[in-house]
Structure formats: structure tokens, C-alpha cells
Amino acid sequence: MRGFGAYLLALAAVALVAATTALWLPMWGLASAALLFLLPVLLASARGGLGPGLLAAGTGALAYNYFLLPPRFSFQVHGIDNVVSVIVLVAVAIVTSRLADALHARKVEAEVRAVASAQAAHFAALLGNGEPDEAVAAALDWLRDHYGPAQMLPMGQVPDAEPDFSTIDRSAAAWTMHNGDMTGHGTAIMPPADWTFLPLSPRGQSGGDVLAVARPADGKTRSETALAQLQSLAWLLGQARDRLALDAERRTRERLEDRDAFRRALLASLAHDFRTPLTVVTGTLDRLAGADEGAAEALDEARRLDRMMDDLIGAARIEGGALAPRLEAVDLVDIVGDACATLGKTLAPLTLDRDVAGDLPLVAADPILLRHVLINLLDNAARHAESRVSISARAADGAVNLRVRDDGPGVPPAERARIFERFARIEGNDRRGGSGLGLAIVKGFADAMHMTVTIEESPEGGACFQLDLPIRRIEAP
Amino acid sequence: MSRILIAEDEPAIRRLLGAILTRAGHAPVFAENGREALAVVERGGIDAVLLDLGLPDRDGLEVLSAIRSRHALPILVVTARGDTTEKIAALDLGADDYVTKPFDGDELLARLRSALRRAGHAQQADTPVSFGPVMLDAGRHEVTCRGASVSLTPREFAVLQALVEAGGRVLTHAALLERVWGKAHIDDVDYLRVVVRALRLKLELDPSQPALIRNEPGIGYRLVG
């Protein structure tokens, strides 16, 4: 109860007290009557605040003086009584109105806070409901119902075409995106803007997305309380958006994990299950090969199939990042001898020049991977050679340089960079098919073992692959 | 003729192994799982075992050590390619040798033959032992190769002695390193490579194509006669 009514109430209360005390003075005595004048002051200052309280105190003092204090019905004062009563009444008015004001302010604040937290709770419930992107849309709709036009602006995308935004709006939006401050209408930064821009996450945290809310339609300036409320809603929105991003990330990860599990299962199947029928096929062909030329050829192809499976498994290991080479001292004569023996049938129709000395330095390599690399290089050479394949090794500059050459058509310079790609085939140069993975595996395994592999033209005109293997330093055993 | 137990769950592989062994003059006996294999061995009369490590009912390595704990007969394990650790574990548990799928019939028979031969005559220490061109007298610390005396360092001698005594059986890197350098060095394959390199330069006819000391990639060494 504020304003004019409070003053009227003050005067009416004083009048009532003055009338009753004037009438009953002989019975009550002066001291009790004086006390009664506190009542209108208390009432007026509690209900109406300081103004009505002071009015009640002033008029009360006058009425007390005029009606009660001897000589009655005059403003003459004989003692100090009146001064004391005036001071007491004014003091009561001041203290009571202060107390009442504070109580009132606290009540209003509590109401505002209750509304704000109810809004926030409702908003959070909307955001937590159902699919995250739909929830964010529903929450924005609710915001529009309660605060007028609102939209979310993703980081860095102040829509130039947005007709509602003036130049200053765009500047304010950009400021919020980059600095994480609340800007625009109602705030300290660029207040002439027509929109208020609020960051979706506290300053310094990820993202620069922004919530834009238009100034109130009634033309009023948005209050600090409303701004604080909008900011907390914006943060809720930001959290929901983060959850959206996390959800999407999790789904992608799950999909990848599924694919990895499938790949692992496929690899295990290739490594074990496929080998059983292949063992039966090669074993049976092997028994027949002595008597039947067709069986001997089929056996050759079955062995090739087995090597292709090694390539497939190797390619999958490179692809899956599952290569963990164990580098140790390796004697090249072992690996070269093993690779040549494995490819015995493939190399048989060709002349094989082997120039790998028995006293070359030991190299640092993973023996299993290096063996696969050499088999693939020799197999590739054998498939393209006219009549001759050569393998040689020389020590130079802390490395052993290994070369595998053939006397086939060679690889044109333009194609050389491409030759280590998977399924790279050189036009008109494919006499017998390999897996298409062989050289990619050479490159992948060599990289994993910190070796370089290059290709150039061999003196015989064919291809010459070079592998540089680091020399292994060994302390005396 | 020897009676060879084939412990293998795949019927096609069983038939193939049976055919390879029969053709070579052996008498195959079959078991489809680990339990059956152990029962057949217990009944006696078996000269050697071909054991697939991928049996359905029990872990192959478990079957292997169960047989080995009671019988000295040669055991060859059959494994898939790439399972280097499995092969090493099998050798460490007492397998005599291994073959890798897809296996070569001649290779399989050769390994079986030498395993049977080793089982036939156990060797005593401190008497001259030989393998192929190598004669080794442990008591006098002397080695001859193709009749010529060869001087070896103590490490070289110890490695060669271990290989000769194994008589063509694969010795894993760890087994050789433990015997010659001690338990603390079972991972120091580099030491072994250096010594084997030196041995080859002294023993091989052509060190660039070694024919005596054979490397099994990622596993170990064996002598080849």
C-alpha cells in the first residue's frame, strides 16, 4: 500500500487517536494518551513507508500538543514534553519504515526468485526431454513465448541477411561470440542495440555460440534481474547443446567401434578359418603335383592365394594402426634366404642373382615384417621380370642399402610416386595379377620400421626398388 | 613304420595328414579332440603325435603339457601362420617341432623323421657329439667342421653345443640366451645374432647362404643336416 492512500490512512489514524484520547483523557491520564500516539505512526510507516510515517508523527505531535497537553486546545508549550514526544514519534517512524521497507524488498525479491527458478526448472525440463535437438527447439519456443523474439546464433555466424539485425546488433553479437560478455540492449556494452546477446557458455569455456533476445515489445528497458535470468537460461541452453554434441560424438564412436570389431573378427577369420580349407587344397595339390602338371600350376596359385591373404591381413594391420614393430638385430642373409625359399616356385623359371654378403652389418628391423617386405618385393619383381631378378645389399653411411631389381618394362617416372598406393596398377604392365596390396604393404611396413623405400630405373631397364635399413649398434655380447 | 597320432578336429585336415603319413609308410591313428588324444596316448603304442593347437575341447598347449608330463615321445604341433608366440610357448612346453598351416607335405615328413630319429637315440654329455659336418667334443672343448679344426670363443662354443645337442630341434631365442648368457638376458636377441653370425663365418661353406644354422624368423635357430 503506497502513495496517496497511505497518507490518508496516516491522517485518519491520527484523527481517530486524537478524538478518543481527547474524550477519555481524564480517565487515562496524559502518559497513556501520549503512548497511544505511537500506534498511527507504527501503522503508517509499516504500511506506507517513511513519508506517511513522518506525516503521522508530525500530525500526531501537533494533535497531542493541541488536544491533550495543558493548556489544552492551544499550541502553547510549558514543558519539554512536546519536544520529547516529537523526537520519539519521528524516530519510531524512521525505524519502522526502514524495517518495513527491508521486509517488503525481501518479499519482492523472493517472489522474483521463485518465478525465476520455476522458469529455469521448466526450461531445464524442456531441454532434458526427448531427442536433444528437438528439446533445444522446444526450449527456444518457450523462450519466445516468455521473452519475445529469440534465436540461437552459432559461433562466427552472424547472419548478414538477418533483417532484424542492425549494424550495432551485429557488432554486439560478434563481441559476445569473441569475448563471452553479455552485450546489447539492457547491458553495459552497446546498449543502443535492439537485441540482447548472451553467451551460451561461461567465458573461457568451449564454443562461442550466442543467444539473441529482442528488446521487450513494450519499449521498456530490460531489468538487471531479467538479464540475469536470461543469462542462466542461456547457460542451460548451452549445456543442452554440449550434450547434443557429446551425443553425436558418442554415436560416431560407437559406429567406429562396431566397424573395428567387425574388422577384427574378419581378420581372425582370415588368419585361422580360411587357412584350414587352404591347407587342405595346397596339401592335396601338393600330393598330386608330381604326377599332374595342372595340379602343379594349381598348387602355385593356391600358394599365391595364401600370400595374398597375408597381404590382406597386413594391409588391415597397417590401416587399423595395429602395427607395433619389435626392432631387433637382424641378419639380412637369414631374411633374404627365407624369402627366396618361400618364393622358390615363383622364382624357379627366372635367373636369381643373389649378392648379399655374409658379413654385412646387422640391421635394426622387425624380422617378421622385414620378411614380408622382402617377399613382396621379390614377388613383384618376379611378376614383372623378363628373365632375371637380382637382390643385392651394400653397407653405406650407417645404413645397409638393399636393392631388388628386375629386367621387366620398369615403371615410368610419372607413375613412380603412385606405385606404393593400394591397388595401383601401371597401364599395360600387368602380366600376372598380384593382390594389389603388395607394394602398399612394403611401404607401410618399411615406414613402421623407420626405413625408406624408393624406386628408380635399374641398369637393365626394369624397376629397381631400394630399401635403406638402419645398421643396428650392438654392445659386445 | 611308426604309429603316429593325429589330434585334429577338422576332418579334411585329418584326412590330408592321414594320406601324407600313409604314403610315407606310417600308420596314422586319429583323435578329434584333446580328451580323446590323451586317452589314445595313455593306451600306449604311439611313436609320435601331430597335435593341432586349436582343438575344440581343451587348450592345445594344455594337452601338450599333459602328454609331455608323462611321455617322452616326439610331439609336433600344427599351428596357424603368424602365431609366433604360440609356437614359442609350444616349444618351451616341450614340443619337438612345429609345422605351419598351410604346410608342405615333404617338410612335415622331414621334421617328423628327424624328431623320430632323435627320440631313437638319446645322447650322453661329455662324449663327442656330432651333427652333419660338425663334430663337437665338449670335454676337450674342441670343434671340427668337415674334418678341419675350428677355434671358437666360449660363447660361440656354448651356442653351437646347445644346437648340436638339440640335434636339429628348434631352440628358441630365449632358451639359447638363458643357457648361454643366463636368465637375465633372455630378451637380448642381439647377442645371439652376433654369435650366430660369427659361427656362420667360421662354419658355413657359403656364409652368404647359410645351410647349417637355420634361422626360424621370430622363433629361434636349428641345425639342418
Q: Determine the average pLDDT of the residues in A7-26.
A: 87
Assess whether B108 and B192 both reside in one domain. Answer: no
Question: What is the complex's ipTM, to 2 decimals?
Answer: 0.86
If you search the block for the grid coordinates 621387366, which residue do you land on? A408
HSE-CB at B194 with a 13 A cutoff on CA atoms is: 13
Domain end position, chosen among B103, B120, B137: B120
- Angle between the N-to-C axes of helices A38-48 and A50-63, in degrees from 0 to 180, rounded to the nearest 10: 160
Q: Which residues contact A385 (CB under 8 A, 6 or more apart)?
A: A350, A406, A407, A408, A462
Q: Do B215 and A359 touch (CB under 8 A)?
A: no
**Residue B19 with chain A: CB contacts under 8 Å:** 287
Nearest to A369 by CA among A268, A452, A449: A449
Nearest to A436 by CA among A376, A357, A355: A376
CATH number, domain at B88?
A: 3.40.50.2300
Residues of chain B numbered 125-154 and touching chain A (CB < 8 Å): none
With a pLDDT cut of 70, the percent of chain A lying above it is 92
If you search the block for the grid coordinates 613402421, which residue do you land on? A448
Highest mean pLDDT among A58-67, A85-94, B182-191: B182-191
Residues A393 and A403 sit within 8 Å (Cβ to Cβ): yes
User: Which ranges in chain A are annotated with CATH 3.30.450.40?
Assistant: 134-245
The 10s digit of each residue's pLDDT in A371-392 is 999 999 999 999 889 899 999 9
What is residue A78's predicted lDDT score, i.e. its pLDDT? 63
What is residue B25's predicted lDDT score, i.e. its pLDDT? 92
Please compute Rg for chain A using Cα positions.
48
Q: d(Cα A297, Cα A285) in Å, to the nearest integer?
A: 9
What is residue B122's predicted lDDT score, i.e. its pLDDT? 59
What is residue A237's predicted lDDT score, i.e. its pLDDT? 86
Domain end position, chosen among B120, B146, B178: B120
Strand partners, A463: A457
**Domain limits for position B186:** 129-223
What are the residue ranges of helices labelled H in chain B?
11-23, 34-43, 60-70, 84-92, 105-120, 154-166, 173-181, 189-203
If you measure CA to CA, which chain B residue comes closest to A267?
B82
Strands B3-7 and A463-470, by their bridges, are: unpaired
The 10s digit of each residue's pLDDT in A91-115 is 888 888 888 888 888 998 899 889 8
Three-state SS at B69: helix
Whether the pLDDT of residue A4 is over 90: the answer is no
Assess whether B23 and B91 both reside in one domain. Answer: yes
Assess whether B105 and B147 both reside in one domain. Answer: no
Assess whether B133 and B108 both reside in one domain. Answer: no
Nearest to A280 among B16, B197, B210 (CB): B16
Assess whether B140 and B71 both reside in one domain. Answer: no
B82 lies within 8 A of chain A by CB:
yes
Assess whether B28 and B109 both reside in one domain. Answer: yes
The 10s digit of each residue's pLDDT in A201-231 is 877 665 678 888 888 888 788 888 888 888 8
Assess whether B23 and B115 both reside in one domain. Answer: yes
Q: How many domains does chain B have?
A: 2
CATH of domain A134-245: 3.30.450.40
Q: Do A337 and B209 touch (CB under 8 A)?
A: yes
Assess whether B100 and B7 both reside in one domain. Answer: yes
Edge-to-edge order in the sheet of strand B134-137? B129-131, B134-137, B142-145, B148-150
If you search the block for the grid coordinates 491520564, which residue do you land on? A29
Q: Do A328 and B190 touch (CB under 8 A)?
A: yes
CATH number, domain at B173?
A: 1.10.10.10
User: Which ranges in chain A are annotated with CATH 3.30.565.10?
Assistant: 325-470
Tell me the pLDDT band of A299, cut-offs 50, 70 and 90: confident
Strand partners, A276: none
A328 vs A163, more confident: A328
Q: d(Cα B18, Cα B51) in Å, to the nearest integer?
A: 13
Q: Do B188 and A280 touch (CB under 8 A)?
A: no
Strands B97-101 and B75-80, by their bridges, are: parallel
Nearest to A284 among B16, B54, B209 (CB): B16
Nearest to A90 by CA among A159, A44, A139: A44
Report the 3 state secondary structure along A378-413.
HHHHHHHCCCEEEEEEEEECCEEEEEEEECCCCCCH
Question: What are the backbone dihedrals phi and psi of residue B134, each rounded to the nearest 5 degrees, phi first?
Answer: -95, 130
Report the 3 state secondary structure along chain A.
CCCHHHHHHHHHHHHHHHHHHHHHHHHHCHHHHHHHCHHHHHHHHHHHCHHHHHHHHHHHHHHHHHHHCCCCCCCCCCCCHHHHHHHHHHHHHHHHHHHHHHHHHHHHHHHHHHHHHHHHHHHHHHHCCCCHHHHHHHHHHHHHHHHCCEEEECCCCCCCCCCCCCHHHHHHHHHHHHHCCCEECCCCCCCCCCEEEEECCCCCCCCCCEEEEECCCCCCCCCHHHHHHHHHHHHHHHHHHHHHHHHHHHHHHHHHHHHHHHHHHHHHHHHHHCHHHHHHHHHHHHHHHCCCHHHHHHHHHHHHHHHHHHHHHHHHHHHCCCCCCCCEEECHHHHHHHHHHHCHHHHCCCEEEEECCCCCCCEEECHHHHHHHHHHHHHHHHHHCCCEEEEEEEEECCEEEEEEEECCCCCCHHHHCCCCCCCCCCCCCCCCCCCCCHHHHHHHHHHHCCCEEEEEECCCCCEEEEEEEEECCCCCC
If you search the block for the grid coordinates 608330463, which residue do you land on? B69
Residues B134 and B46 sit within 8 Å (Cβ to Cβ): no
In single-letter form, the type of residue at position A64 comes to Y
For chain A, which residues lie within 8 Å of any Cβ of chain B, measuring from their own Cβ? Answer: 271-272, 275-284, 286-287, 302-303, 306, 310, 313, 328-331, 333-335, 337-338, 354-359, 362, 367-368, 371, 472, 474, 477
Assess whether B99 and B144 both reside in one domain. Answer: no
In single-letter form, the type of residue at position A114 comes to A
Assess whether B96 and B156 both reside in one domain. Answer: no
If you search the block for the grid coordinates 528439446, which residue do you land on? A135
As a whole number, the mean pLDDT across chain A is 84
What is residue A162's predicted lDDT score, i.e. its pLDDT? 65
**Residue A328 with chain B: CB contacts under 8 Å:** 189-190, 193
Q: d(Cα B41, Cα B66) in Å, to the nearest integer?
A: 10
Q: Which residues contact A38 (CB under 8 A, 6 or more apart)?
A: A88, A89, A92
If you measure CA to CA, which chain B residue comes closest to A303?
B102
HSE-CB at A312 with a 13 A cutoff on CA atoms is: 16
pLDDT along chain B (225 residues), means of 10: 90 91 93 92 92 86 91 89 82 90 86 85 62 86 89 92 88 93 90 93 91 90 88
What is residue A173's predicted lDDT score, i.e. its pLDDT? 86
Assess whether B201 and B102 both reside in one domain. Answer: no
Q: d(Cα A176, Cα A197) in Å, to the nearest integer?
A: 7
Residues A334 and B217 sit within 8 Å (Cβ to Cβ): yes
Residue range A325-470 forms a domain whose CATH class is alpha beta
